[in-house]
Amino acid sequence: MPTITIDGVAHEFEAKQALLQFCLDRGIEVPHFCYHPAMSVPANCRQCLVEVGMTEVDRETRQVKFGEDGKPIVRFLPKLQTSCSQEIADGMVVRTHRTSDLVARAQKDTLELLLINHPLDCPICDQAGHCPLQIQAYKYGPEGSRFEFEKTHKPKRIELGPRVMLDGERCINCTRCVRFTGEVSKSHQLTIIERGVRNYPMTPPGVVFDEPYSMNVIDICPVGALTSVDFRFKARVWEMSKTASITVSNAKGSNCWYWVKDNRVLKVTPRDNEQVNRYWLPDEDRLDYERFNDGRLSGPVVDGRPSSWDAAYAAAAEVLGSVEPASILFLGSAHASVEDNWLLSRLATHLGAPAPVYIPHVDPGHGDGWLRTDDRTPNARGCEALGILPIDADSVRKRLSSGAVKAVYVLEEDPIASGVFSADDLGSAPVIVHAWHTDNRTLAAAKVGLPAAMVVETIGTFVNEDGRAQRVRPAKAIKGVNRTLMMEVGKSRHDLHGTPFDRWYDETNLVDCQPGWVSLPAVAARCGLELSYRGPKDILAEIAGSNEAFRGVSYEAMGESGVRLQETAQTA
Amino acid sequence: MSVSNGSVSKAGDWRSYQRVLLPPVKDLHKLEVYEQHGGYASLRKALTDPAWTPQAVTEEVKKSGLKGRGGAGFPTGLKWTFMPPVNPDVPRFLCCNGDESEPGTFKDRQLMEYNPHLVFEGMILASYAMSVKTSYLYVRGEYADWISHMERELEKLYAKGYVGKNIMGTGFSTDLVIHKGAGAYICGEESSLMESLEGKRAYPRSKPPFPAQRGIWGYPTTINNVETLACVPLILEKGGDWYAKIGAEKHPGPVLYGISGHVNRPGVYEYPTGMLISDLIYEVCGGIRGGKKLKALVPGGSSTPVLRADMIDGVTMDADGLRAAGSMMGTAGMLVLDEDTDMVSFLRRITHFYHHESCGQCTPCREGTGWLENIVTRIDEGEGNLRDLDLLLDLCSQMEGRTVCALADAAAWPVRYTVERFRSEFEARCRPSLVSVPETAALPA
Ligand SMILES: Cc1cc2nc3c(=O)[nH]c(=O)nc-3n(C[C@H](O)[C@H](O)[C@H](O)COP(=O)(O)O)c2cc1C
Ligand code: SF4
Ligand code: SF4
Ligand code: FES
């Protein structure tokens, strides 16, 4: 098999690829800035230089030539090569900064040069703490600077668009942002203007950088030049924890990190998943987080008055027990997890009520064939795989007006606000609603309101538009003690720096709510159905054991990047 | 024949040399006049004589030994053979580089003004040799007048059927487009020239792939200098052997020497390669202005290493001669500096140019060019320190050979060689050092 030797270690390879990516894939760190695996390779930062040589081969015999010392003769190229643009080849010999002083020196030089005009903004820069320039300067850079002149000055607050702000002085001209708009999003809304050391990215005349994916440039910028208008200066990176999860503003289930400080979500960034969203996230997903923090319904409500959880569960059970089971309308939810919808189905079955249905939220034309979808819910596909089918508003209203519905049980929805029915349509039928927010209009008309944990506070499974089942994990804590949740928080929060700035356990920011997998069994128990699980993991195991579509789906199988449902389910 | 220090000019009997690139013919820029003097006969010959296949044309150019006049001196015929085999579905391009922006270089302009048809004919012949259907003449934007001047002539050429469809009724078709650059030195670098032609920001491309693999619009492309292509009709007319015998054996042909600076008669002079520098200065250009002494010479455009007066004895203007002397032929744009020249402020001006013209893509060039100018300016203003000189040389090492294109080298070489070859002058300008000079100011390892 073809072999390449890097720092004296031989590596076999099958397909040709770029040397830098080859090294990164094998955990061999090579410092770099401009290279990004999803974009073209301009080789402009010059940080990834390495020594490249070829083993000499006899032209006729095709045999490797050996020197007097018995070692193969290697002919090194006279100039250092950029590993990002260098294709690997059989017999290639590479020396990185680990084995070559020349390379170490070149990397140090590049960093010295990058820093001569870079402002000393680290103490106030959003990127500080996870800045490739800062990290590499510490690791590979020179100790001081020999530059004794005024740094170049450029505009420091350029609003490229409504969501992205540029600090021209911090830019190291890697062109990643420009390449993103040219090659990935294809909006062509950015270009580099000026020349030489005065360069910085800018929109062409008359253009505003407002494309629906604009904020991706913030993550790929290797320095703090591009900042989020929404997030900038809100928190230092070491004050936040981050949790791997998925976004829920559409049916793509893009993989993301939720960044939390003081038990509030402050930003959402993409998490690499080659199968779903690669490195990207639409702006709508990134800006969908304030509802996790504010306006939350905290503590149960019965007849419009605060209530204890016990009293609320009892009131819900009483409603369900007081009407003909066939007259109960169970509304599942494409906003809620597979597990919670399943528990709702079990409750309905136990009572002998008709199977739950769900209200679709489809916004035709919203989808773009990429990471935004017409469907504005994260789990319609999961509901359908469970046999919870969509229902249109007309059918619901017809059933209500016919008097056939005597009680309504709503899981994480606001059917009044969605125009499915009005308070008048309900007549005297009592409503039980699992609600997130105080402004839930169905809550105002409800007999019982059970505050629900949101996607950033629970454990569960969501199935995206393409049939991929993915896990969500708790990024922030809720009020009360739930050992399953606490353990999961402990496991999934990447407390990067463990500093005392993050008061995530602070009582003031804890919402008194419960995940469906806690509140639904509590209601069911009072209806005579014992649903005892240690947690959502067991619930999913039960589903996987009884529903063909979910066969083989488990938390282990989903891991970090999810699994696809059985093919049979996809065609169903 | 001139003799100096035992060295011999390689230019033969240059005093009786007959100009071929810029012959002394009135109104030669006009198509009618050009044709009267044998113009477009080479093209007609190549297109009508079955012996002159495209391969035969390329072979003849190879035989001539013609080396590119754009600066790097790459063998032209060999470059043409890098084009992949013809595939009717894949377009291929030729680009004639008339961006001419290197300080001290102004010879292509002369051709475009006085003998544009020689350039056109060379382009059409090269297009034929490489089976190119579209060629571009990329001219620097500041040459606006020359562009309109050439466009008028090109129109006549189209009207006459010497370019475009079915040239001279032979069935061979190729188009020629004059493109006006937008005014940046970097547009002359071949890969950035192609980006610029495509309407993009003129950032040089990382190579490989080379232009013959992926050029304009991603298709095979060859780039040649104006003067290079102007040689082609002559080679076809008089033969590769004829050409190979002119001037220096390994670097033959007529050359336009663009001589500027402190000489009595600056200008563009056509002579064979291999001229003695002393002949060019003292004979051709009538010596140094005001009878002063020569101090330094930059032989081939501002980026080529400067030579001290004591280094030019017996040195000839060709690749070998200049390499032996410690410099390069470049574009043969010679800057002559007399004894009154302040080398520090001379270098200051040059560093300013490269700082201004770096495209800013690569870190070492973007940052290094400005830093070089900062330091040289400080020295020029009497504020420099002795350690700055070592810092300058160290910075040059940080830039040389580490960038996407050769502009960083072009910026570093003048600094390296001017400081090294005129070090005492720089030292005298620095602030006196009270303590002993530190060995080097290199970075701690
Ligand atoms: C910074 C830079 C500027 C250049 N400018 C020019 C130019 O103005 N004209 C030119 O013919 N070649 C220029 N060149 C050289 C071209 O890249 C290319 O080598 C040349 O046009 C090839 O033509 P030739 O083979 O006929 O010499 C430049 C190169 C560099 C690195
Ligand atoms: S703003 Fe950031 S991403 Fe864009 S070119 Fe500058 S450093 Fe690169
Ligand atoms: S070397 Fe200088 S001019 Fe050439 S690509 Fe790099 S930054 Fe641009
Ligand atoms: S990563 Fe920037 S040059 Fe290779």
Q: Is the CB of B327 under 6 A from ligand 3?
A: no
- Distance, in Å, from the CA atom of B109 to the CA atom of B87, rounded to the nearest integer, reads 35
Superfamily of domain B11-244: NADH-ubiquinone oxidoreductase 51kDa subunit (3.40.50.11540)
- Residue B436: what pLDDT? 55
Q: How does the average pLDDT of chain B come out, rounded?
A: 95
Residue B262, pLDDT > 60, answer yes
Please list every residue in chain B whose beta carbon sits closer than 8 Å to the beta carbon of residue A78: 401
Whether A325 has a pLDDT exceeding 70, the answer reads yes
Query: What is the per-residue pLDDT across A475-524, written as a single tens digit (0 to 9) for each?
Result: 999 998 889 998 888 887 776 555 666 676 677 889 999 999 999 999 99
What is the per-residue pLDDT across A127-144, written as a single tens digit (0 to 9) for each?
A: 999 999 999 999 999 999
- What is the rounded distance in angstroms from the CA atom of residue A41 to the CA atom of residue A18? 10
What integer pLDDT is reported at residue B120 of this predicted model?
98
Ligand 4 site-directed mutation target among A23, A24, A39, A44, most atoms within 8 Å of CB: A44
Residue B54 pLDDT exceeds 50: yes
Tally of CA atoms within 13 A in the half-sphere of B335 that contains its CB = 23
For the domain B249-338, what is the CATH code? Answer: 3.10.20.600
Q: Evaluate: CB of A400 within 6 angstroms of ligand 2.
A: no
Looking at ligand 4, which atom is closest to the CA of residue A85? Answer: 4
Q: A149–B371: do the CB atoms touch at under 8 Å?
A: yes
Buried b (16+ CB within 10 A) or exposed e, A494-527: eebeeeeebebeeeebbbebbbbbbbbbbbbebe
Pocket of ligand 2 contains residue A227 by CB under 6 Å: no
pLDDT digits (tens, 9 = 90+) for A71-80: 899 999 999 9
pLDDT (tens digit per residue) in A414-440: 999 999 999 999 999 999 999 999 999
Verify whether the Cβ–Cβ distance B369 to A45 is below 8 Å: no
As a whole number of angstroms, the distance between CA A118 and CA A197 comes to 11
Q: How many CB atoms lie within 10 A of CB B309?
A: 16
- Which of A108, A116, A199 lies nearest to residue B360, judging by beta carbons? A199
The tens digit of pLDDT for each residue in B160-186 reads: 999 999 999 999 999 999 999 987 999
pLDDT in tens, A176-225: 999 999 999 999 999 999 999 999 999 999 999 999 999 999 999 999 99
Q: Which of A41, A42, A113 sits opposite B367 (nearest CB)?
A: A113
3-state secondary structure of A267: strand
Residue B442 pLDDT > 80: no
For residue A306, the cross-strand partners are A301
- The stretch B61-83 carries a mean pLDDT of 97
Q: Pick the residue whose CA is nearest to atom 8 on ligand 3.
A: B359
CATH dotted code for B343-428 = 1.20.1440.230
- For the beta carbon of residue A491, count every other beta carbon within 10 angstroms: 10
Find chain A residues with C-beta within 8 A of B367's C-beta.
113-114, 116-117, 197
The domains of chain A, with CATH numbers, are 3-110 (3.10.20.740), 117-228 (3.30.70.20), 301-571 (3.40.50.740)
For residue A44, which atom of ligand 4 is closest to its CA?
3
This complex has an ipTM of: 0.92
Taking contacts as CB-CB distances below 8 angstroms, the residues of chain A near B206 are 41-44, 82, 85
Residue B440 has pLDDT above 60, yes or no: no
Quick check: B5 pLDDT over 70? no
pLDDT at position A319 over 90: yes
Nearest CA in chain A to B362: A44
Max CA separation in chain B (angstroms) = 81
Ligand 4: centre distance to CA A111 (Å) = 13
**Rg, C-alpha atoms of chain B:** 23
User: Domain ranges in chain B?
Assistant: 11-244, 249-338, 343-428
Model confidence at B272: pLDDT above 90: yes
Nearest C-alpha of chain A: how many angstroms from B287?
39
Average pLDDT score over residue span A264-288: 97
Given a cut of 50, whether residue B4 has pLDDT beyond it is no
Task: Give A493-556 as a 3 state SS string.
Answer: EECCCCCCCCCCCCHHHCECCECHHHHHHHHHHHCCCCCCCCCHHHHHHHHHHHCHHHCCCCHH
Question: Would you say the CB of residue B193 lies under 6 angstroms from ligand 1?
Answer: no
Q: For residue B202, give the chain A residue with the closest CA.
A: A195
Query: Does the structure show a pLDDT above 60 at A568?
Result: no
Instruction: Check residue A76 and give its pLDDT.
Output: 97
Nearest to A46 among B363, B391, B441 (CB): B363
In this prediction, residue A140 carries a pLDDT of 96
Cα separation, A143 vs A112, in Å, equals 9
Dump pLDDT digits (tens) for A223-262: 999 999 999 999 999 889 899 999 999 999 999 999 999 8
Phi-psi bin for A464: left (phi > 0), alpha (psi -120 to 50), beta? Answer: beta
Is the CB–ligand 1 distance for residue B225 below 6 Å? yes
Residue B3: pLDDT over 50: no
| Distance in angstroms (rounded) separating the CA atoms of residues A453 and A335 | 12
Percentage of chain A with pLDDT > 70? 97
Q: In this complex, which of A44, A46, A196 lies closest to B355 when CB atoms are compared?
A: A196
- B182 alpha carbon to ligand 4 midpoint, in Å? 28
Mean pLDDT score across all residues of chain A: 95
Separation in Å, CA of B184 to nearest CA in chain A: 9
Q: Note the pLDDT of residue A571.
A: 42
Q: Is A224 in the pocket of ligand 2 (CB under 6 A)?
A: no
Cβ neighbors of B60 (< 8 A, separation 6 or more) are B77, B235, B236, B239, B240
- Atom of ligand 3 minimally distant from the CA of B204: 5
Q: Which residue has the tokens 């492309």?
A: B221
Decide if pLDDT at A572 tops 60. no
Window 33-72 of B: residues touching A by CB (8 A cutoff) are: none
Q: What are phi and psi of B134, to 5 degrees?
A: -140, 130
DSSP class of residue A335 equals T
Query: Which pLDDT does position A304 carry in this prediction?
Result: 95
Ligand 4 atom closest to Cα of A43?
3
B368 touches chain A (CB under 8 A): yes
Note the pLDDT of residue B8.
82
Q: How far apart are CA B371 and CA B375, in angstroms?
A: 6
DSSP per-residue string spanning A163-228: SEEE-GGG-----HHHHIIIIIS-----EEES-GGG-EEEPPTT-----TTTTHHHHH-SSSSEEE
Tell me whether the CATH fold assigned to B11-244 matches the one assigned to B343-428.
no
Question: Which chain B residue shows the shortest CA-CA distance from A145?
Answer: B443
The alpha-carbon gap from A412 to the nearest alpha carbon of chain B, in Å, equals 51
Q: Which ranges of B245-309 would DSSP assign to H, the alpha helix?
A: 277-278
Probe ligand 2: pick from A158, A159, A226, max atoms within 8 Å of CB? A226
Q: Is the pLDDT of residue B444 over 70?
A: no
Res. A570: pLDDT tops 80: no
- The answer to whether the CB of B404 is under 6 A from ligand 3 is yes
**Pick from B75, B335, B116, B11: nearest CA to B228:** B75
pTM exceeding the 0.80 threshold for the entire prediction: yes
Of residues A412, A434, A447, A428, the one with CA closest to residue A318: A447
A514 contacts chain B (CB < 8 A): no
CB within 8 Å: B368 and A113: yes
Whole-angstrom distance, CA of residue A505 vs CA of residue B115: 83
**One-letter identity of residue A486:** M
